[in-house]
Amino acid sequence: SGAISTTARGHLGTFLVHSDRAALWRLSGLGTLLAAMPLPYSRRYEGLATGLRSAFEEAGAPFAITFMRGAGARTAALLEGKVDLVVLSRFAADQLIAEHPVELVADLGPATYVGAHGMLVRRGV
């Protein structure tokens, strides 16, 4: 199929010289990867979505993004097999990992997801 090229090196075995990741992905039959992200309400989220799409395209994997409000909705979609990966806050990811057999594949570091959260309450409440 032309997805890979190898060369025989005698007693050293056969070596992979070239691989076409897009062709390998197509042959795998896995289809398009679907990611669920928060609603893109900031340039940071827009940049993350653009970066993810570029990275997967460069890797030869078909990729699409859906935007869902709420970590709970994104988590449910992942656990139900509706999406292949989700973007969550570290807090939500840690809770998900503690309760289900899922794996954290990328930690974006401190303060890379959102600047900060706060809670406002009315006086006397």
Is-contact 63 93, C-beta < 8 A? no
Paired tokens of 58: 């460069």
Query: Residue 63 belongs to a domain with what CATH number?
Result: 3.40.190.10
Q: Is residue 25 located within the same domain as residue 70?
A: no
Is-contact 17 9, C-beta < 8 A? no
Q: Is residue 106 located within the same domain as residue 50?
A: yes
pLDDT value at residue 113: 55
Identify whether 3 is part of a domain.
yes
- Domain residue limits at 6: 1-30
Identify whether 118 is part of a domain.
no
pLDDT tens per residue, the chain (125 residues)? 889 999 999 999 999 999 988 888 888 888 888 999 988 887 888 888 999 999 888 888 899 999 999 999 999 999 999 999 999 888 888 889 999 988 888 887 765 555 555 667 777 76
Give the Cα-Cα-Cα angle 58, 61, 64 (nearest 5 degrees). 100
Structurally, the chain folds into a number of domains equal to 2
Identify whether 124 is part of a domain.
no
pLDDT value at residue 46: 87
pLDDT value at residue 68: 93
β partners of residue 34: 64
Identify whether 90 is part of a domain.
yes
